[in-house]
Amino acid sequence: MNKTLFDKIWESHVVFSLNKKIDVLYIDRHYIHEVTSPQAFEELKNKKISILRSNKIIATTDHNVPTTNQNLPIKDVLSKFQIKTLEKNCDENGILFFGLKHDFQGIVHVIGPELGITLPGMTIVCGDSHTSTHGAFGCIAFGIGTSQVAMVMATQCLLQSKPKQMRIKLTGNLNLGVSAKDIILYIISKLGPDGGTGYFIEYSGSVFKNMNMEERMTVCNMSIEMGARGGIIEPDATTLKYLKYKFFYPKEKEFKKLKNLCKKLKTDKKALFNKEYEFNSDQIYPMITYGTNPSMCINISDPIPIEKIKNKKKIKMKSLKYMGFIEGKYLLGLKINYVFIGSCTNSRIEDILLISKIIKNKKKADNVSVIVVPGSKQVYKKMINSGINLILLNAGFELRQPGCSACLGMNEDKIPYGEYCLSTSNRNFEGRQGKGARTLLASPLVAAITAIEGKIVNITEYIKNNPIK
């Protein structure tokens, strides 16, 4: 029978089927962080159950961490407690923990891939919705709830019903200034916030094939913003090349095995999907969100669309009111006082490298505060070693230390009430970046140009006049 890549990985991990619908799935990797793990450790402790395979768990601290003076004791009492609790739980259970002082600390979805812990063909879970990121490596990766975190800790397995499968094919050429972020925002705008609900999405076609791993991660990361369980891309030579010299990457003999495995991790030509979409990248331009979910998104030079369907209009008007926008009006020229460059969507070295090319020998506009929060200590180090930090500083950008930061404002990095923030993150929900804060999601390229201009501009025109070298 013809099988999808997803089928192949799923089937090779089914320990047994409980009934026609529910499988017991073996889990290869379990990432944990300080927000969703304490309750699971507590549950196991209360039930006197020990962790089955602590060497399959990797812990990092990211959501609550301050992004300045990470060498000093944490001031925020709750953050300090959560991080200490994670450290203690890892200590007691022999779990590898990347705390604030560790060279490998960072956002969970940035460190797993960059250290070579996420590998093709694996099943990967974490108590975090953006676990979908890891699907970029050709693995089944998805977010789980806290009680499931406890289940995986106790059994290394998970009860799961197999999701439906969708394929999104994208071919064509990329327009000027278009990156992976614009592509996924475009797809989400077409499918809607729940267009992927109940599905696992395979991204295929030349555009994804030509992407580097960082770009593929950006795409898979945002799969869940259209309700999907996760995203997946066939592993190939690009995947293997990315992984080869990573810290935890298997040594030579294992590498050969992985190479052979990757040859099999392909969707068969005649495999069937429950739903298929096909898009052409010629239609995609630099994108920006105007509303309070990522699907409320337009080509940056277009006006905010007018909603004609009555019951949809009500929801849209509420969202536009929050954002201070009006249907039919353009975002071009809108003054932006805050730019946030970071999050598990766009805080990797490739993202920051691109930004540095745009802002080299330029200064940010006076009205803007820009913070750049690298995804990990490794990214931070690379920035310092390559001198990118100096380019940022010269432009007036503030370089912070790694963490989730203003992506969700669980630490002190919040956007003030009523202010607009051009953000490279993945969610623009009401209050996401601070009470009353108004988030506009876009690519790192759009963020960098907005910081320089202090307002929303026509990106295509800007790049025509200021080519990226």
Ligand X SMILES: CC(C)[C@H](C(=O)O)[C@@H](O)C(=O)O
Interaction pattern, residues 310-349, with ligand SF4; x per rule: CB under 6 A: ---------------------------------xx-----
Residue labelled with tokens 């019951």: 311
For ligand X, the closer of residues 243 and 408 by Cβ is 408
Q: Which does 455 bind (CB under 5 to 8 A by kind): ligand X, ligand SF4, none?
A: none
For ligand X, the closer of residues 168 and 408 by Cβ is 408
Structure tokens of 457?
């501009």
Residue labelled with tokens 């990329």: 174
Interaction pattern, residues 66-105, with ligand SF4; x per rule: CB under 6 A: ----------------------------------------
For ligand SF4, the closer of residues 382 and 432 by Cβ is 432
Burial 141-171 (b: 16+ CB within 10 A, else e): bbbbebebbbbbbbbbbbebebbebbbbbbe
Interaction pattern, residues 116-145, with ligand SF4; x per rule: CB under 6 A: ------------x-x---------------
Interaction pattern, residues 103-132, with ligand X; x per rule: CB under 6 A: -------------------------xxx--
For ligand SF4, the closer of residues 140 and 408 by Cβ is 408
Our finding on whether 382 is near ligand SF4 (CB under 6 A) is no
Our finding on whether 219 is near ligand SF4 (CB under 6 A) is no
Q: Which does 215 bind (CB under 5 to 8 A by kind): ligand X, ligand SF4, none?
A: none
Q: Which does 143 bind (CB under 5 to 8 A by kind): ligand SF4, ligand X, none?
A: ligand X
Q: Which does 107 bind (CB under 5 to 8 A by kind): ligand SF4, ligand X, none?
A: ligand SF4
Burial-class residue 173 by CB neighbours within 10 Å (0-12, 13-18, 19+).
exposed
For residue 127, the minimal CB distance to ligand SF4 (Å) is 10
For residue 290, the minimal CB distance to ligand X (Å) is 21
Structure tokens of 354?
């691109």
* Long-range contact pairs involving 86-90 (C-beta distance under 8 Å, separation at least 24): 86/32, 86/33, 86/34, 86/37, 86/38, 86/59, 86/61, 87/61, 89/37, 89/38, 89/41, 90/59
User: What gap in Å lies between CA 395 and CA 363, rounded to an integer?
Assistant: 4
Nearest CA to 39 out of 77, 78, 85 is that of 85
For residue 126, the minimal CB distance to ligand X (Å) is 8
Q: For residues 80 and 222, is the Cβ–Cβ distance under 8 A? A: no
Size of the site for ligand SF4 (CB under 6 A): 13
User: What gap in Å lies between CA 390 and CA 49, rounded to an integer?
Assistant: 51
Residues 231-270 that bind ligand SF4 (CB under 6 A): none
For residue 223, the minimal CB distance to ligand SF4 (Å) is 12
Applying CB under 6 A, among 118, 426, 428, 443 the residue interacting with ligand SF4 is 426
Residues 395-414 that bind ligand X (CB under 6 A): 408
DSSP string, 219-265: HHHGGGGGT-SEEE----HHHHHHHTT-TT---HHHHHHHHHHHHH-
Our finding on whether 150 is near ligand X (CB under 6 A) is no
What's CA 422's distance to the chain center, in Å?
A: 16
> Within a 13 Å sphere around the CA of 183, how many CA atoms are in the beta-carbon half?
33
For residue 437, the minimal CB distance to ligand SF4 (Å) is 14
For residue 348, the minimal CB distance to ligand X (Å) is 17
Q: For residues 26 and 15, is the Cβ–Cβ distance under 8 A? A: yes
For residue 186, the minimal CB distance to ligand SF4 (Å) is 20
User: What gap in Å lies between CA 167 and CA 21, rounded to an integer?
Assistant: 22
> Within a 13 Å sphere around the CA of 447, how many CA atoms are in the beta-carbon half?
31
User: What gap in Å lies between CA 465 and CA 1, rounded to an integer?
Assistant: 54
Q: Which does 343 bind (CB under 5 to 8 A by kind): ligand SF4, ligand X, none?
A: ligand SF4
Residues 58-77 that bind ligand X (CB under 6 A): 63
**Which residues touch 307 (CB under 8 Å, ≥6 apart)?**
313, 316, 327
Our finding on whether 441 is near ligand SF4 (CB under 6 A) is no
Q: For residues 105 and 111, is the Cβ–Cβ distance under 8 A? A: yes
Report the DSSP beta bridge partners of residue 160: 23
- Contact residues toward ligand SF4 (CB under 6 A) are 62-63, 107, 109, 128, 130, 343-344, 404, 407-408, 425-426
- Contact residues toward ligand X (CB under 6 A) are 35-36, 63, 128-130, 143, 408
